[in-house]
Structures are given as structure tokens and as C-alpha cells.
Amino acid sequence: MTIVQNAPHTRINRRGDDGRPNRRQGDHVRPTSDGAPTTTPEMLIADFVVGSAQERDFELDRALGTARFKAAMEGKQGILVTRHDFCRFSVRLTSTVPFGAIHEKDNAERN
């Protein structure tokens, strides 16, 4: 592994023996339009179960605040809020959503 330091900051970029950045846990590889793989990191911010609408609103507000903060640090990912069923939700950062946007995905089954 090669460690490269950028002056004047003490930021360290870790690279593998082939010179490419090492993948982090949670990174997903998808092909680009030319067929070459690209790394798309996703970050799970929160996954929670609620018992009331008031609890849902509180947990979503808290998770979205954290997601906005982390998204602003990178400036590359948007926020995806998923309702898995009527009491379980998740919030994640993903590059499938444009930076600055929040998309909602409803997977709850209805009768």
C-alpha cells in the first residue's frame, strides 16, 4: 500500500499496489457507459422502526439532519428515504440521487 500526503493538509490518500484507491466497505461497483467499472459509495445513515406518526417524524428529522450534514461534506451524493413498510424506514446517501436532492421510495404494501 502506498500512502500519499498532500501538503499543507495532513490528509492521507491510501492506494493499493496498483495505484488505484482502495474500496471502502459499502462501496458498490457498477459499469459506466463505456463498460469500465466505477465505484459508487453508499452510506446508510439510519434504519429504524417507529410506533407512531410523531415518533416517525422525529426520527426522520433527526436522520435527515445527519444526512444533509454528511452529504454537504462530500458534495456528490443525494439522500434517499425509503419506507420499507408502515413502521420501518431507512435514510441513506447515494450517488443515484443528485447532490442537494431528497428522493422518497415507498416499498410499503397496500391492501
- Residue 100 within any structural domain of the chain: yes
Structural domain contains residue 5: no
pLDDT by residue (tens digit) across 6-42? 333 333 334 444 555 444 444 444 454 555 555 557 8
- 19 found inside a domain: no
In a domain, 32, yes or no: no
d(CA 84, CA 108): 5
Determine, yes or no, domain membership for 70: yes
Number of compact structural domains in the chain:
1
pLDDT in tens, 47-60: 999 999 999 999 99
Residue 7 resides in a domain: no
Which domain does 85 fall in, by range? 39-106
21 falls within a domain = no
Cα–Cα distances (Å) from 19 to 29, 37, 101, in that order, read: 17, 16, 33
22 lies in some domain: no
